[in-house]
Amino acid sequence: MKYILLFLLLLSSAILHSQVKPIPFTLNDIAYPIIAMKRSPGADLLFMSLTGGRFLLYETGKGKLNEHSSPLWKNYSVTGFEYGGDAEFSDDQKYILVSEQNLMVTYDKVQVKPFRIVVLDAATGSIIYELGEVTQTQFIKGKPSIMAFLEEEIVIFDLQTKKVQKLTSPLEIESGCLNQAGNLIAIAYDAGMEEFKTKHGAGYNRKELKNARKNKKLMAFFEYPSMKKIGTLQEEIDVVYMMKFIADDRYLLFFSRTKQAEHQQTSVLNDLDKQKDRNQFQRVDIASMKVDNLNFIYQTSEAQSNCDFDLNNAIFVYGDNRGLLSAKREVVVVNFNQQQDYLGKYTYQGRAGTRNLYSTAFSIHDATTILVANGMKLSYWDFRQLPAYSEFVEPMNENAILDKAVAQLETDLQDPGSNLSKTIVKKNIHGLFILTITLQKNGEVVSVFAQSDEKTDINSQNQLKDLMMKYRFDVSVPKNERVKFTYTFNL
C-alpha cells in the first residue's frame, strides 16, 4: 500500500512540474498600469490602453510578446482617458475605435456617464476622428463607418468620406447597439409606470412598480435604418453600460449594474461583497427576446470589468474583484454555452491597502492561452493546464512594520486636514504615480524611486518624491535593516 501511495505522490509531483507556470514579464515602453488589451481580427496585432491616455500597438504575428518586444507605435498625446479605454478593430484592421473608460458608477448612484471616443489610424496611431457625449459606440460591420449612440440621436460617421449622418432616436438612449447584419438596433432606456405593468417581475403590484420605475430599465428593438419598433424585452433589466451582438446575432451580450443589493456572492472572508457585487454579464436570446439567465449570467464585484470571448472555442472571460479591500483580483474563464461551467481562474493577490492591484486586463491568445495583466506585468496563462493559479504581486509575509507604515500613509492621504494632504493640494500635485519607498531606523525615508514616460508630469512627480523624502513614518525598523514597499498614488 505504501508503494502505491508513494507512486501516486511521485506521479502528482511529476504532473505538477510538467505544467508550465506563467512567467511574468514587463515591456520597456510600459511605465503605467495596463487597463485594457484588444487583439485584432487577424490575431497579428495587439492594442494596449494604459492609464492617462497612453495607447500602444504591438505586432505579434501568430506568436507571443516577450520582454524584448517593441511597439509599432505609441500615442501618448490623447487628452482624457485617465482610466484607459476599451478598444475595437475594424474588420480590415485599418482603424481602432477606443471608447473612454470612466468611473461611471458609485455605490450610491448608478447611472451611465457619457464618454469620449477616438478613432485611430492603425498604421500610424494618429487620431482621425473624435466625439464626446457618447453612451455606446461600435464599427458597422462590413463598412468603413462607426455608429455612436448619444442620448437623443445616433451618429454615423464614414471614415473614408468623412461624411456624418444623424438619426433622431425614438427613445432617450442609455445604451444602444447595432447587430452584425446591420438591420436591428437595441436600445436600453428609462420606461414609465404603464410600460412596466406589462413586464415580468413588476406586474400590477404597486410597490414593485415603483421599485421598477426607480431602479430598472427596459430594452426595445428597432429595424434599421427605418427605426420601426419591432419589440421589447419581456422583463425589466438593470442599468446597461455595455452591449454587443455576437458574431451570428443569436445573442446580445450586455453588462449591467443594479441599484439594489440583490445580486450577492458573499464569503466569510469578504463580507464587503454584499455591497459591491451588483454587476453582471448577461445575454438576450434574440429569437425569443428574453434575457437568457437560465444559461448565462455571471456576477462580478468589478464595476469596470473587462471581458473577451471566443465563440469558436466557447470561451468567455471576465474580470472580478474578490478580495477584502481590493487585495485580490481575478481573471475568470467560463464556458459560453454552459452556465456556471468554470474553466479557469487566475488570481492576483496583493497586500491590503497598498493600492498596487488594478482592474485586470486580458486578451484571448488561443484555445488554451490567455494573455493577462495587472499593473505593468504581463503573463501568458494556459488555463487548461493550470485552471487555478495565483500570482502574488507583492511580498505576502507577515510584516507589522510595513502594515503600520502603509496604514499611516493611507490615513493621511484620505484625511484632507493632514499636513500631507494639505501640501499636495497647495502644490497642485495631481496624477497617477507609482513610488517605491525605502525606510530605515525610526521611520526615516532613505530613498524614493518612480518610473515615468514622456507623458509623465515630471514636476508633480518630483514634488511628490520630495514630500515623501521628508515624510516621517511612525515605525521603528531594526538596526541595519530596511523596509521597502510600493504604493500607487492616484491624486
pLDDT computed for residue 152 by the predictor: 93
Q: Per-residue pLDDT for 112 more than 90?
A: no
Which residue has better confidence, 415 or 199? 415
Distance CA 185, CA 151 (A): 15
Look at residue 202 in the predicted model and tell me its pLDDT. 53
Average of pLDDT values for 231-259? 91
Comparison of pLDDT for 484 and 275, the residue scoring more: 484
Q: In this predicted structure, what is the pLDDT of residue 311?
A: 93
Q: Which amino acid is at 327?
A: A
Q: Does pLDDT of 353 surpass 60?
A: yes
- Between 11-25, 39-53, 336-350, 377-391, the lowest mean confidence (pLDDT) is in 11-25
What pLDDT score does 277 carry?
54
Mean pLDDT of all residues in the chain?
87
pLDDT (mean) for 196-225: 72
22-306 is a CATH 3.10.105.10 domain: no
Q: Look up residue 170 and give its three cell numbers.
A: 425614438
What integer pLDDT is reported at residue 215 of this predicted model? Answer: 73
Note the pLDDT tens digit of each residue in 73-94: 999 999 889 989 999 999 999 9
Burial of 148 (0-12, 13-18, 19+ CB in 10 A): buried
Global confidence as pTM? 0.88
For residue 17, pLDDT beyond 50 = no
Q: Which residues pair with 188 in a beta bridge?
A: 175, 219
Over residues 316-333, mean pLDDT: 86
Top pLDDT among 6 and 135 is at 135
Residue 60 has pLDDT above 80, yes or no: yes
Q: pLDDT for 439-454, tens place per residue?
A: 999 999 999 999 899 9
pLDDT of residue 216: 83
